[in-house]
Amino acid sequence: MSETVSLDFELKSPIERVWHALTDAATLSQWMFFETDDFEPVVGHRFRMRGKAYVGVIEGEILAVDAPHRLSFTWVTEGQLGPSATQVTWTLATAADGATRLHLEHSGFAREATRETAGAKHGWTAQIGQLQTLLLPA
């Protein structure tokens, strides 16, 4: 059995702009706690992200792309108990007012990984806060 973090956000930006922020390596590096120069939204593409505030690496592979509505990729980290392989899926939809509804599902946490799921929920919420700030009109 596995645990899933499921979060919903509404971003006051058009779906194309949010999609770009989720899929462009340079833009991802501006709002995430990780930096990457090799993220590409192409099924089968492998990428690495390096932690900004701590020594850590995320490795992943793009699993699904349906621009600008769905992006899914693996999220593999090295933890205290060894490697942890989970999956991140972003689902985007346009709201009636032109904003973007963004759903995040981060799945595959071990059943006993309560601390990790709480950490993921907190981390993703903070990162989406950074994304919202980045997307504010200039």
Residues in the chain: 138
At 125 the three-state DSSP class reads helix
pLDDT of the residue at 137: 77
Count of alpha carbons within 13 Å of 16, Cβ hemisphere only? 0
One digit per residue, pLDDT tens: the chain, 138 residues?
688 999 999 999 999 999 999 999 999 999 999 999 999 999 999 999 998 877 688 999 999 999 999 999 999 987 554 557 899 999 999 999 999 999 999 999 877 666 667 788 888 999 999 999 999 876
Domains of the chain in sequence order: 2-135 (3.30.530.20)
The pLDDT of residue 5 = 92
The two structure tokens encoding residue 116: 């990790």
The pLDDT value recorded for residue 36 is 93
Rounded to whole angstroms, what are the CA distances from 124 to 49, 90, 105, 119? 15, 12, 10, 8
Dist. CA 38–CA 46, nearest whole Å: 8
Return the CA Rg of the chain.
14
- pTM comes to 0.90
Q: Which residues contact 25 (CB under 8 A, 6 or more apart)?
A: 36, 37, 38, 39, 40
End-to-end C-alpha distance for the chain, whole angstroms = 45
- pLDDT, residue 9, reads 97
d(C-alpha 13, C-alpha 25), whole Å: 19
